């Protein structure tokens, strides 16, 4: 069921929009869920937006000539288990938190 009138419900149009999305929109589409359990076994080594793949440490396959290559995984099949917080990410989360607090109404605002 379509909710927004601005978005087409056509299968081919939505697939075209998905696969021809610019890099700034692919970043949002390629996001993954955050796990409650923290595991430190694997780490993301590369994100390839053009091919819709992420490459994870120690997930490799062997070629016929014996060379080891990384296996690309689609981000929808991945769960983030540990997030490394640096200064920039911390600032972004603070900014988003402040914006959320500005949009919320309090009881005094409603009564006035």
Contact 2, 13 (CB under 8 A): no
Enumerate residues 6+ apart whose C-beta is below 8 A from 84: none
Mean pLDDT value of segment 34-54: 65
pTM of the model: 0.50
Any idea where the domains of the chain sit in the sequence? 11-83
Residue range 39-54: mean pLDDT, rounded: 70
Task: Please determine, looking at this structure, whether the domain spanning 11-83 carries the CATH number 2.30.30.30.
Answer: yes
Q: Determine the average pLDDT of the residues in 80-103.
A: 78
More confident residue, 57 or 109: 57
């Amino acid at each position: 069921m379509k909710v927004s009138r601005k978005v087409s419900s056509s299968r081919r149009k939505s697939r075209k929009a998905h696969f021809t999305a610019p890099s700034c929109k692919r970043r949002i589409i390629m996001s993954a869920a955050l796990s409650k359990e923290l595991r430190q076994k694997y780490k993301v080594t590369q994100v390839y937006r053009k091919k819709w793949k992420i490459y994870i440490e120690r997930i490799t396959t062997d070629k016929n000539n014996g060379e080891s290559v990384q296996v690309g995984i689609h981000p929808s099949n991945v769960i983030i288990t540990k997030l490394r917080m640096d200064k920039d990410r911390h600032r972004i989360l603070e900014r988003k938190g402040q914006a959320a607090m500005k949009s919320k109404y309090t009881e005094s605002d409603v009564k006035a």
